[in-house]
Structure 1
Amino acid sequence: MASSSRGATVQVNCPEHPDTPLVEDHHAGDMICPECGLVVGDRVIDVGSEWRTFSNDKDAKDASRVGAAENSLLDGGDLSTMIAAVPGGEDSGYRNRRTISSSDRTLISAFKEINQMADRLNLPKMIADRGSTLFKTVHEGKSLRGRSNDAIVSACVYIACRQEGVPRTFKEICAVSKISKKEIGRVFKLIIKNHETNVELITTGDFMSRFCTNLELPMKVQKAATCIARKAVDLDLVPGRSPISVAAAAIYMASQVSNTKKSQKDIGEVAGVAEVTIRQAYKLMYPKAHVLFPDEFKFDTPIDQLPLQ
């Protein structure tokens, strides 16, 4: 994909298949190589400002910004203007007074923060819009009084990601907000409980591509890790373990028999889970390692040399 910025053009290609046109995943905001599945670019959403010129001269350089569109989530749609008289002396006249309710002020601040978080996470606008709608519902329901708006904003972004099928971990949400993982988790549970909000079940596959790409692992390791995680769940080897920890353990197992070995620490930093959590899931999977790998997998390190933990 070619992206331009004020005349500069940058060509993005898959390093393994440079001549293959990339496929845009509009839902997740990714550019993917159809040959090997590598996530090459993680931003296909244009978040730049919209500019127009109202000059008759087509070559005019003085672009004028278009005003913000009316926000249907605000009670007034937009800010209203009242004309108030200024009494007395030479300064008598009129002044504009922009009025806005405290409720709309809260919503505007929250919507701005949600859009900023979505931008930092490279998320499509549809997720920011869903998060904003959910925040408005929670705000008007008044069921989370006493909880900070920042915590509610973070939880709404987390829920919106899951509902749109591109989940992010609590650690990823925490990294772009001011709130701890524990508090985001608490508010998330309260929203689900009080507003009957549905969220899709997370699977190991939801994170595998992004984790492996961030770890710079080859496609054969990603495919093996995906197979390992799926079989581990199907065989009920990891009961009660979160999909994120299972995915992390599967990546660790697959990498250890490849030429691109990654430590539990490296994987934990990307997946947002503790090393001990990865180790516990891995120990449950280890006894069945010989049946978890795909049949066609070529081992660079023999499977019997896998670490015990």
Structure 2
Amino acid sequence: MKIEKLDNSVSEILQVVGICIIDPQLYRVIDVGSEWRTFSNEKSGTDPSRVGGPENPLLNGSDLSTVIGPGRGDASFDDFGVSKYQNRRTMSSSDRALINAFREINGMADRINLAKTIVDRANNLFKQVHDGKNLKGRSNDAISSACLYIACRQEGVPRTFKEICAVSKVSKKEIGRCFKLILKALETSVDLITTGDFMSRFCSNLSLPNMVQKAATHIARKAVELDIVPGRSPISVAAAAIYMASQASNDKRSQKEIGDIAGVADVTIRQSYKLMYPMAAQLFPADFKFATPIEDLPQM
């Protein structure tokens, strides 16, 4: 909304004609939204509503456009019956690229149920990269996917590269390259991911009870604190911790089931589990109720 101050002379005139003014310093509120007024007496078009797209601060032209109405009469057509005036929007190529990228980001976010705040942050990141012309030669699809990945990390709901790749049109390697280039170009950073960032979502998707989730969270945290899994990614450690906790409970899950949800290979889970198994007695929480004793847990 825009606020414009009226001068004292206008204020005095309004008081004379009977408009009650509480404050002499009158402010007039201007609505910059779409105009939904209907002009029913106009016969030039089938749609009497004069409307337009709302202002978009991410676009260079504020989404202003011109549309030529349908031609009528002989003057609107050439000798072959083709319309002389094409109905074309006067939108720059830069704005067109931005709109396509925003549409792609929104589509990817919808497919993995991301909040609008994440979409807005990803759109802003893409706008900064686009205006700075920092990633020339890279496809807009790859940049859009990397911006969405960064937005998830910055909003505190990280997603794995494989999850973003599953809804994207580009490869995981290309998303990873753009991710590093964007962080360098924008001089920004993201928080390091931890096992706790994924534990709740993975356990929920595996339909594991709260007891198993708490145990898996404790196992993963202790494994990192004791430096049992050096060099392993938080995702593989979380997957191995879920496997160990589930095997000790009545709600057992296979490595393949966990791998499909976590986006890691079975062999990756096995490698982390091998490192954690000898110290299993120290990893489980003290109040955990074992359905399968530690000595009967699978040995890789």
TM-score category (smaller protein): 0.7 to 0.9
Alpha-carbon contact 2:53-2:63 (below 8 Å) kept: no
Correspondence 1:78 to 2:63: yes
Residue in 2 that maps onto 1:23: none
Give the distance between the partners of 1:181 and 1:94, measured in 2 at CA: 45
Q: Alpha-carbon deviation of 1:282?
A: 1.0
Distance 1:76 1:259, change over 3 A: same
**CA distance in 2 between partners of 1:242 and 1:292 (Å):** 18
Deviation (angstroms), 1:129: 0.4
Q: Greater helix percent: which structure? A: 2
Q: Which has the larger radius of gyration?
A: 2
| TM-score normalized with structure 1 length | 0.75
Q: In the alignment, what sits opposite 1:230? A: 221
Q: Does residue 170 of the first structure (1) align with residue 184 of the second (2)?
A: no
Q: Which amino acid aligns with 1:69?
A: P
**Alpha carbons of structure 1 residues 265 and 95: separation in structure 2 relative to 1, 3 Å:** closer
What do you get for the CA RMSD once the two structures are aligned?
Answer: 2.4
Say which is worse superposed, 103-112 or 195-204, in terms of deviation: 195-204
Shift in CA distance, 94/280, structure 1 to aligned 2, threshold 3 Å: closer
Question: Partners in 2 of 1:177 and 1:153 — Cα distance?
Answer: 9
Structure 1 residues 67 and 260, CA gap change in structure 2 (3 angstroms):
farther
CA 1:96 to 1:265, structure 2 compared with 1: closer, same or farther past 3 Å? closer
270, 282, 288: which one aligns with 1:279: 270
Asked whether the equivalents of residues 79 and 98 of structure 1 are also in contact (C-alpha less than 8 Å), the reply is: no
Bigger share in strand = 1
What is the aligned partner in structure 2 of residue 121 from structure 1? 112
In the alignment, the residues of structure 1 paired with residue 115 and residue 109 of structure 2 have an alpha-carbon distance, to the nearest angstrom, of 7
1:281 to partner: Cα distance: 1.0
Whole-Å separation in 2 of the counterparts to 1:96 and 1:235: 68
Deviation per CA, 1:8-36: give whole Å up to 9, x if none: xxxxxxxxxxxxxxxxxxxxxxxxxxxxx
Question: How far apart, in 1, do the equivalents of 2:161 and 2:116 lie?
Answer: 20
Q: Contact 1:290–1:303 (CA<8 Å) still a contact in 2?
A: yes
Q: Which residue of structure 1 aligns with residue 258 of structure 2?
A: 267
User: Structure 1 stretches (4+) deviating beyond 3 angstroms?
Assistant: 92-97
Shift of 1:238: 1.1
- With 138-147 and 102-111 compared, the bigger mean Cα shift is at 138-147
Q: CA–CA distance in 2 between the matches of 1:67 and 1:305?
A: 68
Question: What are the within-5 Å matches in structure 2 for residues 79-118 of structure 1?
Answer: 79-81=64-66, 90-91=75-76, 97-118=88-109
Paired-residue identity, %: 73
Query: Aligned partners of 2:52, 2:204: CA distance in 1, in Å?
Result: 39
Offset at residue 193 of structure 1 (A): 2.1
TM-score for both structures, normalised by structure 2: 0.77
Residues 92-144 of structure 1, C-alpha deviations (whole Å, 9 max, x = no match): 79776420111110000000111111111111101000000001111122221
Alpha-carbon offset, residue 291 of structure 1: 0.6
- Residue 239 (structure 2) pairs with residue 248 (structure 1): yes
Cα distance, 1:274 vs structure 2: 1.1
Counterpart of 1:125, as a letter, is: K
C-alpha contact (below 8 Å) 2:196/2:217 kept by paired residues: yes
**Structure 1 residue 82, shift from structure 2 partner:** 6.8
For the residues of structure 2 that align with 1:81 and 1:272, how far apart are their CA atoms? 47
The counterpart of 2:296, out of the listed 272, 282, 305, is 305
Deviations 1:23-69 (A, max 9, x none): xxxxxxxxxxxxxxxxxxxxxxxxxxxxxx989xxxxxxxx9x8643
Aligned pairs, number: 246
Distance 1:176 1:293 in 2: 36
Q: Extract unaligned runs of 5+ from structure 1.
A: 1-52, 56-63
Which structure 2 residue ranges, 5 or more long, are not aligned? Answer: 1-35, 39-48, 78-83
Distance in 1 of aligned mates of 2:86 and 2:294: 78
Distance in 1, Cα, partners of 2:235 & 2:195: 6
| Displacement of 1:91 | 2.5
Secondary structure at the aligned position of 2:158 is classed as: coil
- Superposed displacement of residue 216, structure 1: 1.0
Contact 2:149 2:164 in 1 (8 A): yes
> For 1:131, which of 105, 114, 122 is the aligned residue?
122
Work out whether 1:212 is the aligned partner of 2:203: yes
